[in-house]
Structure 1
């Protein structure tokens, strides 16, 4: 009996350590799901002059003082948003970033690398357009808010945003010390208090990926009067972009 109990304990420990090791090694594969580019010809691509990789940006050039930079979700081909964005924002030049490993971009995605590319993109766009708005959806909301805390964005729109990916991961894997394991934390709450530009949070009422409480927790971190929150009734995390209110609300935030 004692030997059987010891064997069960040893097996449980081995399974715990094995799964923990897998989470540690393959954690970025659980965050990023690179997608190929489906829409747009090579003349619709801007290649960023970063030193280590080729970073692609789907663009709709426009000689306008206004520009919009879009950061998509963790499994999103941002080029698919180009037709709708081009129609909805006729007075904005459009720049949709393909994260490393996504679309025509090379390399491997990480929080630090994506932020580096976002900063490079903003600096390039800002030389061409005086008023640059940032829109980030899901994973991209964490990129957009970090960028807005470091660059003079004109407006900020966060779609299905989260307070912290670290927080969500800890709840997903409560038996592991995720705080010490996770490399890409995307702690949006750290940046919200320093945001001063008008900010809009668009929340899906029935978001099955980003819990409503996480979006609400982030909203509470902004200074009074800086941010407003809009909820799209009946929408989920993945179908929010197809709702009629979606683009209308983004326009209202710009």
Structure 2
């Protein structure tokens, strides 16, 4: 019987046309013998615009949220976990693309060391003209020790030194933390810092994701940088990470 890695994608109508590119990058993944993937596509809300963009593939399942309210990508991803069958969960935003070998590299790390709870990797920005661009400041490849990300995040203007959109995590650990934070944005950063508070992680120097830059990108909208909301998000993210660290979870790992 094959083992599975679950890929989770939250999508809303503006990003739905990019699903085919995300799917192509997933189909191109070469997994180790005995492994397969499943793709959970979860619409944030309920429209008539997303379903037609979802590939017809038995490995892909599509569900919608509430018709009267969008809950944000964290809510969409978390409710998708009800369908997750894999031992590991990999994030893939609807407008992004995996690089060749990304899933195999994630699995190799997690299978080799039970003390590693999650994996991240280098990111390349995918520009509108199809070119790619990296950015300086990646950490050294290898283990990310517990509680090491919070200080770096604060020192760099609340920017994590590894990208949460590249996260691959043990499903049981993800569920134990309740999935993604119930925030209007930065919910993936909140999860990343919570994971680091209770578990060692890993950074892979090979690029694992092409992070699309486009005018409809949620993180590029004015609401994302509203000072009052941003301050509230950062405060609760920090408080959660510190509270989890204080509980001493994983101290025997």
Q: TM-score range by the shorter chain?
A: 0.3 to 0.5
Higher helix share: 1
Give the TM-score taking structure 2 as reference length.
Answer: 0.33
Higher strand share: 2
